[in-house]
Structure formats: C-alpha cells, structure tokens
Chain A
Amino acid sequence: MSTFVSGRTGEWEIVIGMEVHAQVVSNSKLFSGSSAIFGASPNNHVSLVDAAMPGMLPVINAQCVKQAVLTGLGLNAKINKFSVFDRKNYFYADLPQGYQISQFKHPIVGEGEVQIELSDGSTHKVGIERLHLEQDAGKSLHDQHPSKSYIDLNRSGVALMEIVSKPEMHSADQAAAYIKKLRSILRYLGTCDGNMEEGSLRADVNVSVRRPGEALGTRTETKNLNSVKFIMQTIEFEVQRQIELIEDGGEVMQETRLFDTSTGMTRTMRGKEDAHDYRYFPDPDLLPLTFDDAFIDELKIGMPELPDEIKFRMVNEYGLSSYDANVLTEERETAAFYELASDGRDRKITANWMSVELFGALNKAGIELAQSPVSPNQLGGLIDLISDGSISGKIAKEVFSEMFETGKDAKLIVDEKGLKQVSDESAIVTMIDDVLATNPDKVNEYRGGKEKLFGFFVGQVMKASKGQANPGMVNKLLKQKLDL
C-alpha cells in the first residue's frame, strides 16, 4: 500500500512503525495491590512495592495477564505460553526501583496483524511484531516549585501493554487509521480505555524515508504522542524534514525526538550516542510466566465480537454501506446501540436514523452516546411508527426532536399531539375536494398543461391535514382527481 511523495530530486517512500503504550484496564497495578485508577491526588495510590522500599517484591497480577492475552487474541496474534519479565535498568527520579519491569526477549504475545481501512474504502493489513507487559513509571512535576521537582507515584507500577507494529505504514493517513483501529479493538475488548488525553494510550512513532525499492533509511523515534492529530503532524513534519535534509546532502541521524504541540515540529531529545544501555536481564524476583491452552481457550470463549466481524455482518447481512458500517462499529457502544435499535426492524432505515438524526442531535448537544436521552428501544419504537405508516418521515423528525428533548416514547408523543398519519381514503378525498373547490383557477391552469402546480396541490392538502395525511395516498388520490 505504498504511496510515494515527491521531493526536489525525485520520489520518496515513507516507512512508519509504531510502538503504542496502552494502559491495561485493571483495578490494581501490574505487580502490586494498589489501585490503578486514574485521577487520585498525588501519591495516594502507592504501595510499599510501588515506592521500591527495601526488600519489597513484585507479584504478578493475573488480571493484567488475562488482558494481555485477550488483546493478543484480538490482534490475531501468537500467544506465548512461556514469557519472561526482565529488568530494564536506568536511573530517573520517577522510577523508584531504578529499573522498569518489562519483557524483552520473551514477550507474552508474538506476531499478529490489524486490518485498517482508508478513506478511499481500501483495506490493508498492518503487521504486529509483538506485545509485551511492562510497568509504567511515576510522574515528575517540574512546575510546582522554582528549584525542585515533585514526584507522583500513583502511576508507578501501573500495567502497560507495549504493542509494536512492523514498519508497514507508508503515510500519515495509514498511521492514523492504524491507531484508530487499534484503539477501537482495545476498547471492544475492554483491555484499554483508549483515553489518549489522559495518557492511557500513547504512541512512539518511528519514521524513515527511502528511495522506492531501496534499503530502509535511518529512522527517528518521536516519543509519547497522545493524539491522532499529533501523530499525523509528527509524521508529516518528519517526512518533510528528512527529505529536505537528504536532498540538501545531509544525513538523518538515528535519534529520539520530541514533538512540540505548540509549533507542530519535532526536535532532538537525545542522539544515538546518548542512548541508554538498559542492561536488560531476567528479573530474579519473578518466575517465568507460564499458562496452558485451557487458560487461553477460556479467554477465547469470553471474547466479544470485534469491529471487523460486526462490520462484515452489517454489510453482508444487513446490506449497509461500508461507510455506515464503519461509523456504526467504530465504538463498541455504538454497535451495541445499533444492534438493539435495529433488531427486528429495517436495518438500513435504523442505520440512517442513527447516523443522521441521533448523531446530529448528540453532536449539537455535545454529549456522548452513553448519555443519549433516546434509548435504543425508543429509537426502535420510532422506526416502528414510520414502518407501519403511523407517521411520515417528516413528522418522525418532529417526534424525534421531542423525544430527544423530553426522553418520552415516540408513541406517547404521537398520541398526545395527535400526530398519527391520516391514511383514511375518504378523509383525504374530502380534504382534496375542499382544496380543489377553493382553487378553481389553479385547477384549470393545471389541466391546461401547467403540471408544475401538482406540488402546490399536495402542499395545500398536507397543510389542511396539518401534515398528518399519508403523503403517498395524497399523491395517488390527487392525481386521480386532477387527471379526470
């Protein structure tokens, strides 16, 4: 799926790989019993283990292991029944142990893949290299005191999954599609809440450029990007920078860079020569992590349907467009809402109502689907009234607005306001006769060939019925009367 960009001296191919850090959904931390919940006041979720007190030992949290395996399954990846925790040694004030417990040589999850879909409707596969479990560090606060830094250890020891892609993306759009899809899978699985603003999902982006067909160029790694927009900006900036650098006779240095959100540019954080020697070695406080097939099978059974499967069903069984299916499966909650609302009803009409009216109203009100005043069953009730001819589409929109405002059922609103569609032929004929009788000149003009006036008569009849006349019947009966 390579696309090329043009430089001054010719074509360039972009190569992108991503390391995503996803915070595991778990009540407690990876190796201690303290709470892993976000938002507590500083240093309130810190156990003796998290603070690296002398003699404290890590004990693996089984829930985090399950979540990692579940994620591996969701990425169609190889699950390693034997994995090893290693120590990654470096000094920093918010790293109390002086090492991070991670997995180096033997990760819990091996190769897998993610299918991404681009705006042109094409789908592509991005390979996953590995997924491993590791501890998060604490947080350094440099802005609390003029000369001191403060340390918050609430995050210290919280479980992260590092998901490493293969260098198989070739544009900012592809990278964006990848992170969105990954986020969606994690949220469906319930293994990461995907909240990028709070930092529960963040990415390190590796970018290099090369002449088409040539060996990989030197890459730079830009750390800790916490929005899709920043990821795209980083890639665009880095690609431009690297191409210009090479075309001007320079050389890309292998280095770690930082993204400046205020300028949209990246800058050097540290070069290769300053790279840490992490002195990885197996953590002697922990035994290798092992489990059997039964453990994996049990998780497989409990696995939810993932967006790709649901989308396939929506397109092939429900006849939805690929676009609608995408919109409806992006979030697990949306798909679940839709399934409930459309169950036993016209799938396409429900899809339209959700993506146009409901999402429009939610957007306008600035609220999430979870807070929707209209429940899936209520939306379904409205669709029922449309389908059985009780109300027209136009009235339905009115009813929907009221539902959204009051949270009342569609049927109740229709009954209270007397909005039920008039499908009684004799009643409609009476109204038509009235309209024709009060507009004899227009009738003559119409019959004389000014057929455009048909719309006028329909409008008048609908007006007379206060919009409740069945428009199909009005059309049919009016035509009969006028074309006598």
Chain B
Amino acid sequence: MSELLKMTATQARKSLLKREISSVELLNAYQTAMEKTEALNNYVTPTLEVAKEMAIKADKTYAKGNAGLLAGLPIGVKDLFCTKDIETTACSAILKGFFPPYESTVTSNVWKSGGVMLGKLNCDEFAMGSSNETSIFGPAINPWSKIDGSDLSSGGSSGGSASSVAAGAALMSLGTDTGGSIRQPAAFCGVVGLKPTYGRCSRWGIVAFASSLDQAGPFTRTVEDSALIFSAMAGHDQKDSTSASLETPNFSEAVNSGIEGLRIGIPAEYYVDGMDTDILNLWKKGRAWLEQAGAKVVDISLPHTKYALPCYYIIAPAEASSNLARYDGVKYGKRIEKESLDAMYEATRADGFGEEVQRRILIGTYALSAGYYDAYYLKAQQVRRLIKEDFDKAFNDVDVILTPTTPTAAFPIGAEIVDPITMYLNDVFTVPANLAGLPGISVPAGLSEQGLPLGLQLLAPSFREDRIFSAASAIEKQAEFSLAPVRAAGDLQ
C-alpha cells in the first residue's frame, strides 16, 4: 500500500497507463490513508461510494484506451466547490444540509478528465481565515507537528486541502485562493499550491467569497503534478463572465523546461519586520538556486506593497458582505423561524455565521456605506490599481518574481485566532497577487530550525503560468525537499 501512496500523480498515471496498478487499488490505498489520518480532521464529507464508482469507471477507460488526463487519480475537494447531490457547506452552519443540484465547472472538468473524488475537505468558514480554525467542523490539523508533538495549524483557508495532500490522504486536491488561501497552507504543510491567473479557472459553482479575487487552484506534491491537474481544471467557461476566453496551453511542457536567461525579480518591499530568519535565509537560497540554474536575478521595487494588506481587507470584506447576503434563510440552508421577516433574517444570520464571517460582513458593509464609500472602497480600488501597475512595470524588467510565501512557518492551533490583525498578517506576501490578478505558486523549499516546512512563492504576469512552472520546477529540483510529516499516512518519499 505504501508504495502506492509514494507515487506522485504523474507516476501513478504512468503505472495506470501501463496497467501495473488499477484505479481501484489506488483508491483503496487512499481510503486506508484517510482512515489512518482521520484525526487530522481533513475530510468533512468523505465520498467513498462515489469514489468507488469513479475508480471502476476510470479502470474501464484504461482498458479501452481512452483514459482522461486524471483518470483514476484520487482527488479531494475543498468544501467550497458545489458538488452535485453531495453536501456542500462552505464549512458554515448556515449551509448545513445543503445539497447542490449542480456541479461546479472546475470539479466537473476534473471528473470529466477521470479524477476520482475522495470527499469534501475542511476549510475556513466561507474561506475566511488563515488557519482553518473558523470552520464549523473545527480546524484541519497540519500533519507536521511541533518538536514537542503539539498540533500545528494547517493554514487556511484551504487547510484540509493542504493537509490531506501532505498527509498522503489525497493524491491531489482542489482549493481556492482569495488572498493566499492556497499558497499559505501549501507552505505550512510542505506541498505545492498554485493560484492561477484570475479568469483562468471558472468560478461558476464555487461558493463566492470575494468575486474579484477568488480563484480555484490545485494542491499537489510536485510541480509536475500541479501542471497536470491545472491543465484539466482550466479553460474558458461561458457561464462565468470573468473567465478568460483563452486556449489552455499544455502546462506540463513548461515543467523542467530550463530557466537559462530567465529574469527573476527580488522585490525590496518583501523584507518585512517580524519575518523569520529561517525564511530570509531560504529566500536567499532560492535566489542562489535560480542563479545556478542559469537565471538572471534582478533587484526590483514594488513600492505600493505595504498598502496591499489594508487594501485587501477593504475590498474582500466589501464584496463578501454582498455575496453573503443570499444566505438569508429564505431559500435554502439554515432558517430560524421568527414572527417577522427581519427577525428571521437576524436570528438566522446571527446563528448561521461564525464570528469571523460576521466581522467581515460588518467591515464590508461599513466600507460600502454612504459617506464611507469614497474613503474606503473607492480608495482601496485606486490603491489596487497602483499595486497592479507596480507589477506591470516590474514585469517589463523581469519574467518572474521570487518571494517567500509566508513570513513564518506554521503556528500552533489557537495561537493567532485570538487576534484578527496578527492572523491577517499571514497574507502579507500572498495578497498582492490576488489584487493584481496574477498567477502565483508556493513551492516547498526547506525546513525551519524547528523542522517545519517553508515555502517560496513565484509570481508571473497574467496567463504566464508556464513561467511559474519552469521556475518552480528548477527550485524544486535543487531544494530536494523531503515530504515527511510525522503524522502522514505512510512513507511518502
């Protein structure tokens, strides 16, 4: 069994094609792994019966010789994607018992390519959080532990997606990234997390948090696997007006394509106070690795970086306050009956939304209010444009930008949830890419002194994920990161 868990998606696909293993065998291995790692609280709704049917179907396609790109590969799905007839809660009490009569475009694409659905994965409520602690199901736990053995946060909001892949309880998984919700947990858990260009993956059928920032992306153990599943997820969707009408290139070709002459930018503004020395050192290492691989490293400036976080924490809550208005107890999900409509709204939403979600709805409502709109929302949009222009200018001189993914390694559960501002600071390096709509990836690149994984982030111009895959595979090769969390389902290397 352990041999099966060790395979990357690309390796598993090769073995499946050669009929050395079957999809059902692979699924069985992952089913056992899911049971073994149950304490990590990654799956909120396992879907093993569905998975079994899908695996059997995948094996038939291999037999017939028409297997899709992801046929037979076990994949977990963040509980933010609507999945047909399978409970979809966004990890919120307000959507408990909601069974969508439709399937999101991205998951649909993945199942059409033959992917096998293991289940729905834990996340922060409505993807609002950086530690997976706002989930009504409780936090997903990082399979890497502190030296004293105490639990660490998986990061968030896609905590379950990162943790399950790191623990060997999913070969790959789907997440969403609004301000860092894929890259930060990927860094915390030691896996590869890709946030594609805004518009690359359809948002149709994904529970919306902040529409102008949300983007679906994959968690994988390798860069090669990331390119593989991303190629299946992406594509134009007429049902999403913000979806880019572009052909999806074969991203796998970019992996290990070499970075001779690639210009790498190191932004001065990403040296921030409170950044771990470990991370600073890793960043230097990353720079050296890329230079050794033939890239040209350039120091650059992104002058408006310091405004990115405040700007994000206006725009994201503003959009969320409106996006979450539909959860009102009238049509689906939770309702607390009261005498009047207004009383029903108040009771339902007070009970159905957790504290962090309520906080953001209030911030967003405030920011959009008459008399405050210009000072907050409008100003934030102006700043957003400046941030984007910073990147546009920088990309005149460089092809890819290298930064750390997070200012720290994974923190203990309960350590930061007490102070929202500290929690928000987790996103300081990841948020600019969402504001500018750029693609970004987090690659596991080393360990902290405490033996915890650390990630490096690569950013590229819009729709140039190919450059990200080239550079990320170069780092991956030289970092020789070993995915060996103590609480994994087995030996993954």
Instruction: Assess whether B104 is in contact with A281, with CB atoms less than 8 Å apart.
Output: no
Question: Which B residues from 199 to 216 make CB contacts under 8 A with A?
Answer: 203-208, 210-212
Q: Provide the bound-state CA to CA distance between A56 and B339, in Å.
A: 30
Tell yes or no: B424 within 8 A of A by CB: no
CA distance A417 to B206 in the complex (A): 77
Interface residues of A in 269-312 (CB under 8 A from B): 277, 279-281, 284-287
Instruction: Determine how close the nearest CB of chain A comes to the CB of B435; give it in whole angstroms.
Output: 12
Minimum CB–CB distance from B312 to chain A (whole Å) comes to: 14
Contacts A57-B203, A281-B377 given; does A91 touch B241 at CB 8 Å: no
Expressed in whole angstroms, the minimum distance between the Cβ of B92 and any Cβ of chain A is: 10
Query: In the complex the two chains form, is B212's CB within 8 Å of A284's CB?
Result: yes
A97 at the interface (CB under 8 A from B): yes
A151 touches B368 (CB 8 A): no
Q: Is there an interface contact between B241 and A52, defined as CB atoms closer than 8 Å?
A: no
**Across-interface contacts of B210 in A (CB, < 8 A):** 284
User: Across the interface, do A285 and B341 meet the contact criterion of CB distance under 8 Å?
Assistant: no
Q: Report chain A residues within 8 Å CB of B373.
A: 279-281
A60 touches B328 (CB 8 A): no
Inter-chain CA distance A381–B160, complex, in Å, is 82
Whether A7 is near chain B, meaning CB under 8 Å from some CB there, is no
B325 touches A285 (CB 8 A): no
The B269-298 residues at the A interface (CB cut-off 8 A) are none
List B contacts of A284 (CB < 8 A).
Answer: 210-212, 242, 319
Asked whether any CB of chain B lies closer than 8 Å to the CB of A59, the reply is yes
**Which residues of A are found within 8 Å of B241, using beta-carbon distances?**
57-60, 285-287
In the complex, chain B residues whose CB is within 8 Å of the CB of A277: 369-370
Judge if A400 is at the interface, Cβ distance under 8 Å. no
| Cα distance, A190 to B225, chains bound together (Å) | 55
Query: With A58-B241, A59-B241, A281-B377 known to touch, is A53 a contact of B211 (CB < 8 Å)?
Result: no
CB contacts (< 8 Å) of A96 on chain B: these are 326, 330-331
- A366 beta carbon closer than 8 Å to chain B: no
Contact in complex: B239, A99 (CB < 8 Å): no
Instruction: Kindly list chain B residues whose C-beta atoms are within 8 Å of the C-beta of A51.
Output: 331
For residue A250, CB closer than 8 A to chain B, the reply is no
The residue that B325 contacts in the complex, of A55, A99, A280, with Cβ under 8 A, is: A99
Contact across chains for B330 and A151 when beta carbons are under 8 A apart = yes
**B328→A55 contact, CB < 8 A:** no
Complex CA gap A130/B324 in Å reads: 31
- Min CB–CB distance B8 → chain A (angstroms): 30
Asked whether any CB of chain A lies closer than 8 Å to the CB of B174, the reply is no
Q: Do the beta carbons of A55 and B205 come within 8 Å of each other?
A: yes
Q: C-beta contact mask, B311-342 vs A, less than 8 Å → 1, else 0? A: 00000001101101110101110000000011
Say which residue of B98, B239, B369 sits within 8 Å of A57 (CB atoms). Answer: B239
B326 touching A52, Cβ below 8 Å: yes
Q: Are B211 and A97 in contact (CB under 8 A)?
A: no
Q: Does A10 contact B (CB under 8 A)?
A: no
Q: In the bound complex, do residue A279 and residue B368 qualify as a contact, i.e. CB atoms below 8 Å apart?
A: yes
B325 near A91 with CB under 8 A, answer yes
Q: Closest residue of chain B to A60, judged by CB?
A: B241
**Docked pose: A98 CA to B104 CA in angstroms:** 22
**Is B90 positioned at the interface, with any CB of A under 8 Å from its CB?**
yes
A89 to B207, CA, bound (A): 19
Q: Chain A residue with minimal CB distance to B204?
A: A57
Please give me the residue from chain A that is nearest to B88 by CB atom: A54
Which A residues lie within 8 Å of B207 (CB)?
54-55
A45-74 CB contacts (< 8 Å) to partner B:
48, 51-60
Interface size counted on chain A using CB atoms at 8 A? 30
Q: Does B32 contact A (CB under 8 A)?
A: no
Determine if A285 and B211 form an interchain contact, defined as CB atoms under 8 angstroms apart: yes
Interface residues of A in 106-141 (CB under 8 A from B): none
Return the CB mask of A27-57 against B: 1 if under 8 Å, else 0. Answer: 0000000000000000000001001111111
Residue B240 CB within 8 A of the other chain: yes
- Of A48, A99, A149, the residue contacting B102 (CB under 8 A) is A48
Shortest Cβ gap from B340 to chain A (Å): 11
**Is B95's CB within 8 Å of the partner chain A?**
yes
A482 interface contact, C-beta 8 A: no
Find A54's partner among B211, B326, B345 (CB 8 Å cutoff). B326
B82's partner among A55, A280, A285 (CB-CB below 8 A) is A55
Residue in A53, A59, A91 whose CB lies within 8 Å of B239: A59
Check A285 against B242 for contact (C-beta < 8 Å).
Answer: yes
Q: Does A1 contact B (CB under 8 A)?
A: no
Bound together, the chains give a CA A100 to CA B204 distance in angstroms of: 19
In the complex, what residues of A have CB within 8 A of residue B204's CB?
A: 55-57
- Alpha-carbon distance between A58 and B240 when the two chains are bound, in angstroms: 7
**Contact indicator B205/A89 (Cβ below 8 Å):** no
B382 interface residue per 8 A CB criterion:
no
Most buried by A among B95, B238, B321: B321
Given the known interface contacts A58-B241, A281-B373, A281-B377, the answer about A98 and B326 at a Cβ–Cβ threshold of 8 Å is yes
List chain B residues, Cβ under 8 A from A91: 325, 328, 342, 345
Does A99 lie within 8 Å of B98, measured CB to CB?
A: no
Residues of A within 8 Å of B88, CB to CB, are 54
Contact of A281 among B100, B206, B368 (CB under 8 A): B368
Interfacial chain A residues near B98, Cβ < 8 Å: 54
Of A51, A55, A87, A99, the most chain B CB neighbours within 10 A belong to A55
Alpha-carbon distance between A96 and B325 when the two chains are bound, in angstroms: 9
Chain B minimum-CB-distance residue to A277: B370
B377 touches A55 (CB 8 A): no
Q: How far is the CB of B360 from chain A (nearest CB, A)?
A: 15
Question: Is A55 in contact with B326, judged by CB distance below 8 angstroms?
Answer: no
* Residue of chain A at shortest CB distance from B333: A54
A5: interface (CB < 8 Å): no
- Kindly state whether residue B365 has any CB partner on chain A within 8 Å: yes
User: Is A93's CB under 8 angstroms from B95's CB?
Assistant: no
Tell me, in angstroms, the Cα distance from A51 to B102 when the chains sit together.
13
- Greatest chain B CB density within 10 A among A91, A97, A99, A281 is at A281
Chain A residue nearest in CB terms to B341: A93
Which of A51, A277, A284 neighbours the largest number of chain B CB atoms within 10 Å of its CB?
A284
B44 CB to nearest chain A CB (Å): 16
B318 contacts A281, CB within 8 Å?
A: yes
Most buried by B among A51, A91, A99, A279: A279
B244 to chain A, nearest CB (A): 11
Chain B proximity of A94: nearest CB distance (Å): 9
Question: Nearest B residue to A51 by beta-carbon distance?
Answer: B331
A97 CB contact (under 8 Å) in B205, B325, B369: B325
Q: Is the Cβ of A89 less than 8 Å from the Cβ of B341?
A: no
A149 CB to closest chain B CB, in angstroms? 8
Complex formed: what's the CA distance from A375 to B200 in Å?
A: 59
Enumerate chain B residues within 8 angstroms of A89, measured Cβ to Cβ: 321-322, 325, 368
A277-B369, A281-B373, A287-B241 known; A55+B330 contact, CB < 8 A: no
Provide the bound-state CA to CA distance between A223 and B388, in Å.
44
Residues of B within 8 A of A59 (CB): 238-241
Q: Which residues of A lie under 8 Å from residue B206 when comparing CB positions?
A: 55
Q: Provide the residues of chain A in CB contact with B208, threshold 8 Å.
A: 54-55, 285
A287 CA to B325 CA, complexed, in Å: 21
Which residues of A sit under 8 angstroms from B377, Cβ to Cβ? 281
Are B100 and A54 in touch, CB under 8 angstroms?
A: yes
Q: A103: shortest Cβ distance to chain B, in Å? A: 15
A57 CA to B82 CA in the complex, in Å?
13
Minimum distance in angstroms from B453 CB to a CB of chain A: 32
Which B residues touch A280, using CB under 8 A? 368, 373
Taken together as a complex, chains A and B put the C-alpha atoms of A322 and B341 apart, in Å, by: 55
B102 contacts A279, C-beta separation under 8 Å: no
CB distance from A13 to the nearest CB of B (A): 31
Given contacts A54-B207, A54-B326, 6 further A-B contacts (CB under 8 A): A57-B204, A91-B325, A93-B341, A279-B321, A279-B369, A284-B212
Pull 10 A–B residue pairs with CB atoms less than 8 Å apart, ordered by A: A48-B102, A53-B82, A54-B98, A57-B203, A59-B238, A89-B368, A93-B341, A99-B322, A279-B365, A287-B242
| Interface residues of A, Cβ cutoff 8 Å to B | 48, 51-60, 87, 89, 91-93, 96-99, 149, 151, 277, 279-281, 284-287
The 9 tightest CB contacts between A and B, nearest first, are A98-B325, A284-B211, A279-B368, A284-B212, A52-B326, A55-B205, A54-B207, A277-B370, A55-B82
